[in-house]
Structure 1
Amino acid sequence: MMIKEKQVSQAFFQFILPFSWKAVTIRNFILFLQKNQFTPYRLKELHNETAYYGGYQVLHSDMEAFFHPITSQFLFPSSGHEKGFQRYTKDINVESLLTINHQKIPFQIHSIDLILCPYELGFITVRTEIKDTSLSNAIDFANHFNRKDYEDLLPDLRHFVNLDSPPPFLEPDKMHIQSLLHFADGESIDEVDVFRSVTLCGENVGNHEYITNYVKDHSYSRWAPNTYICVNENCFSCLTNSSTPKLMAVAKRFYGENYYLHLINLFNKLVFVKIAQNYSTIRIEKDYNEIEKLIYFINSFTSNFFFIEYPTNLEGQELFKLFKRAYNIDSLYLNTKETLFSLFKYEENSVTKKDSMLLLVLTLYTVICGIFSMNLFTKDLEGKIDWSHFKSYNPFEYFAVFIVFSGIIVVAILGFQSLYQVIQERKNKKQWDEQAVISSQVPKKSN
């Protein structure tokens, strides 16, 4: 197909890189962020509504109202001691150049987010803007902006995040891109433009029928032909040729509600994939503690952070469904439910077998001690014990002594084991809960 080049007056990008952090470094991680002028993001601080978005405004009240009250609690925690997405943001506001095939594209970095999420996951987001360029240049810019830019902005990040060796459930070098393309006056938007923007496709775009079907399956065209939204597994793209006043409203949603819709579904996908990866490594006959941990992991996630519907209005619900479909959330959720059912069945069968064996052993001891052992020598235990009398026991009496005292030892061992298991379970659950709930409380510096 022949491509008709379009001019873009402004192109806004949010480059999102998932990462995994180590729980043991969380306190030092937060100190590192504060040292580098990152500030906690709180909805009550209204001056931040225009601080990070290149002059555009994100209304905190609209964002809070957009999501259900329960969802807002973990998306926008009011303090660093609450569970949820702990976002730290820094205003960068620097000019830079990206060289692509000897062509220099000037761009501006507005701000950077570092979001610490439950289950040792997180996101780095860099907000950039380029002006007065072609659609092809904007697509090239998105394709070539890589994670080295993150290291330039945060050179000491490697102390807390290993970007070279991500966990197996994270895709290496896989950034997720949000783009808002504002077309120049007089430019129209067609299906090819939408397709290219969300697939980051160059000149070879394929046949028109394929493009039409793809855009239909992945886009939200409520405001067409002036504004299109398209979502796939790696990109969220919004294209508009609306006037500047309307662009303000589109940008507000782009940096606000749509950004968090993207993060929610990306977080859900990563957690579900992490669950599947952990399940695949379990040795079912040996890793009983890992089974308990995974059951707790699944239950804590689905009860605290996974909800079937998030937004309160129709537009938000439709966009949320579009994200869910792009990230295959429903299928991953069903797979997780099956995993939980399998783990429960195995745990139930294992506990039943252990209880049956324990009951059998205790029953045998009880029967033998009650009918046979105790009647043979307990009279010798009355009053002051004459230990020399035990030398005259016959084999049956020695056997009775063994049964009684071994039974006492077995009961004592079982009691200590039960007490140890209770203590260990409480310790494990406290540790697992710390992975599920982030606290950004920083220890006070000593004088």
Structure 2
Amino acid sequence: MVQQLIKEQWEFFDLRDTSQDCKFYGDIRVSHERMEKFFLPNMEPILFPPTIKDKNAFRRFSKIINQKGCLQSKYLETDFILVSFDIFVCPYNIGIMNMRINLPDHMSYNDVLHFIDLFRQLDKPHDIVIRLNEKEYSETKGIIFNEYCPWLEDHLSKKEHTTYFGSLPFFIEERMQVYYYLAFEKNTLLDEISLYRAALIKGYDREGHPYAGAKSEAYIHRFCDQHVYDRWGDSSYYIISNYAFVCLSNECEEKSKFIAERMYGENFYTNILFFFNRLLLLELSYENSQLRVDDKKGSIEKLIIRITNFSAQFYQPEVHSRIFGKEIYLKMKDIFHMDELYNHVNRTLGNLYKNHEKLTGKRHEYLLTFLTTYTVISGIYGMNLVIEQDWKGNINWSQAASYSFFEYIALFVALSGIALGGVLGIVTVYKWMKEKIKSKND
């Protein structure tokens, strides 16, 4: 995948390269120095690896697009600019793609939400047309796999999952998470219904009327109380939901530009880290649900190793050095119940491993009883019924026709014992070599 990205002239993101701080964001400049200071030292090599060879880090590759497009639907027609693409090649065979889009100034709030709701759906949501590079698409997935990343599908997992419509089993639906910032005119009222609609991306209904999807003011208030970070009062709000990470602000132009820079920089990487953690936990939970007590021990041990490495490297209690980052990250964990999900994966896998050990122990007991019995019988016959004249030097197999019943037993025990010992020896060596190779790969 990395070699493919280099071949396609995607640029590796290097925090030490300050020329990149205004390269992929339109007219926004992102301070690399501020991003570095925002995260704790143990997270810097994971989020900002200095080399593309570091497989245990988030290797980001970006490409400038700056392509003007148009989205047309029943109730909306608007231009947009596809500014750039990011692809993160992450550990655990996970990839994250980001499409960075700018919308025209002075669009109505309802139009913005409706555009986001339509564009984020990978499969055809309604009768929409997206015009880009003199081509027309009816779904966003076509832009990704046909227009800009036709080679991407060759690098995706081909595992068969027993779910409907081809969805991955650990995704709720085939829609993109939306990470966006909206700057309103100064002193614009941002009430709870606006915050609620921004979090759940509610634009127009099927009749073309603005809607929220909820009527109860008490419910909307409770939702906002849980999902909205309102440290800056009625001027800037950060909202976190299952579908979006949002910032709405009515600050002056200078402060608004600073918020936009932070959204493109520090907050963006916070969201990427959280998105990775959540995605991996959901995947581990799914893999855990597919295991059974009678599965091979290696499968369970491999999953335990993955969870242990994940918790040691990525799932840290704190990843930020600033109060704002710490509070946002803790709010994310609380809203999505990350600790509960992590503890559930750990607990159920631990119980599965204990039950598997018990089952394996019983199998070993049966094998030991069988071998003990076999050893006793072979020892008795070996001491008392050794057919030395027939087995010494050149074996005289013709004498076997005149053996007594117990001599036949002695012959069978001897030959089968040699065969059993050889098979057990070969199996032991094979398992030992297999575990050494697996340990090295892990």
Contact 1:295 1:343 in 2 (8 A): no
Aligned to 1:265: 274
Residue 169 in structure 1 maps to residue 178 in structure 2: no
| Structure-2 change in CA distance of 1:339 and 1:380 (3 Å) | farther
Cα distance in 1 between the residues matched to 2:233 and 2:180: 17
> Do structure 1's residue 396 and structure 2's residue 396 form an aligned pair?
no
**SS at 2:378 equivalent:** helix
- Pairing 1:204–2:178 present: no
- Check if 1:134 corresponds to 2:141: no
1:74 aligns with 2:50: no
Indicate conservation of the 8 Å contact 1:373/1:397, yes or no. Answer: no
Change beyond 3 A, Cα 1:353–1:183: same
The aligned residue for residue 36 of structure 1 is 8
Q: Pick one of 101, 104, 111 that aligns with 2:77.
A: 104
- 1:148-227 equivalence runs, <5 A: 148=140, 149-151=143-145, 152-161=147-156, 165-202=166-203, 203-205=210-212, 206-227=215-236
Residue in 2 that maps onto 1:316: 325
Query: Alpha-carbon deviation of 1:420?
Result: 1.1
Give the structure 2 partner of residue 14 of structure 1. Answer: none
The alpha-carbon deviation at position 241 of structure 1 amounts to 1.6
Specify the SS of the correspondent of 1:285: coil
Mark the CA change 1:378 to 1:42 in structure 2 (over 3 Å): closer, same or farther: farther
Is residue 406 from structure 1 mapped to residue 419 from structure 2 by the alignment? no
Structure 1 residue 62 and structure 2 residue 34: aligned? yes
CA distance in 1, matches of 2:46, 2:335: 23
Deviation at 1:195, TM superposition (A): 1.7
Paired with 2:13 and 2:439, the residues of 1 have a C-alpha distance of 29
Q: Which moved more, 1:120-129 or 1:292-301?
A: 292-301
Counterpart of 2:262 in structure 1 is 253
Shift of 1:37: 2.5
Q: Could you tell me which residue of structure 1 aligns to residue 119 of structure 2?
A: 145
Q: Which structure has more RCO (C-alpha within 8 Å, separation ≥ 6)?
A: 1
Pair 1:382–1:141, CA change in 2 (3 A): closer
Structure 1 residue 47 corresponds to structure 2 residue 19: yes
**1:400-439 map, 5 Å:** 400-429=410-439, 433=442
Tell whether 2:309 aligns with 1:300.
Answer: yes
Q: Which is worse superposed, 355-364 or 162-171?
A: 162-171
CA-to-partner distance for each residue in 1:147-171, whole Å, 9 max, x for gaps?
A: 4243433344334348983422234
More displaced 10-residue stretch of structure 1: 302-311 or 136-145: 302-311
* Alpha carbons 2:238, 2:248 under 8 Å: kept: yes
Question: Structure 2 counterpart of 1:50, which letter?
Answer: C
CA distance in 2, matches of 1:283, 1:103: 50
In 1, Cα distance between equivalents of 2:356 and 2:311: 19
Alpha-carbon offset, residue 113 of structure 1: 0.5
Unaligned 5+ segments in structure 2 are: 123-139, 159-164, 204-209
Distance 1:170 1:236 in 2: 17
Identity of paired residues, percent? 29
Correspondence 1:91 to 2:92? no
1:341 aligns with 2:345: no
Equivalent-residue separation in structure 2 for 1:249 and 1:380 (angstroms)? 98
Q: Is the 8 A contact 1:374 1:404 kept in 2?
A: no
Change (3 A) 1:380 1:189: same
Give the 3 Å change call, closer, same or farther, for CA 61–412 of structure 1 in structure 2: farther
**Per-residue displacement from partner, 1:218-268 (whole Å, max 9, x unpaired)?**
011111121111101111110112223322331232112211221222222
Runs of 5+ in structure 1 lacking a partner? 1-28, 434-447
Query: What is the rounded CA distance, in whole Å, between the counterparts of 1:47 and 1:409 in structure 2?
Result: 70
Residue 182 of structure 2 aligns to a residue whose secondary structure is strand
Residues 80, 86 of structure 1: 8 Å contact kept: yes
Deviation at 1:199, TM superposition (A): 1.5
Superposition deviation, residue 114 in structure 1: 1.1
8 Å contact 2:187–2:251 — kept in the other structure? Answer: no
Distance in 2, Cα, partners of 1:179 & 1:263: 13
C-alpha separation in 1, matches of 2:157 and 2:369: 52
**Segment of structure 1 superposing worse, 414-423 or 68-77:** 68-77
Local SS of the residue matching 1:52: coil
Q: TM-score, normalised by structure 1?
A: 0.82
CA spacing shift, 1:189–1:378, aligned 2, 3 Å: same
Kindly tell me: are residues 162 and 271 of structure 1, through their superposed partners in 2, closer, same or farther at Cα, counting changes over 3 Å?
closer
Q: Judging changes above 3 Å, is the alpha-carbon distance between structure 1 residues 167 and 429 closer, same or farther for their aligned structure 2 residues?
A: farther
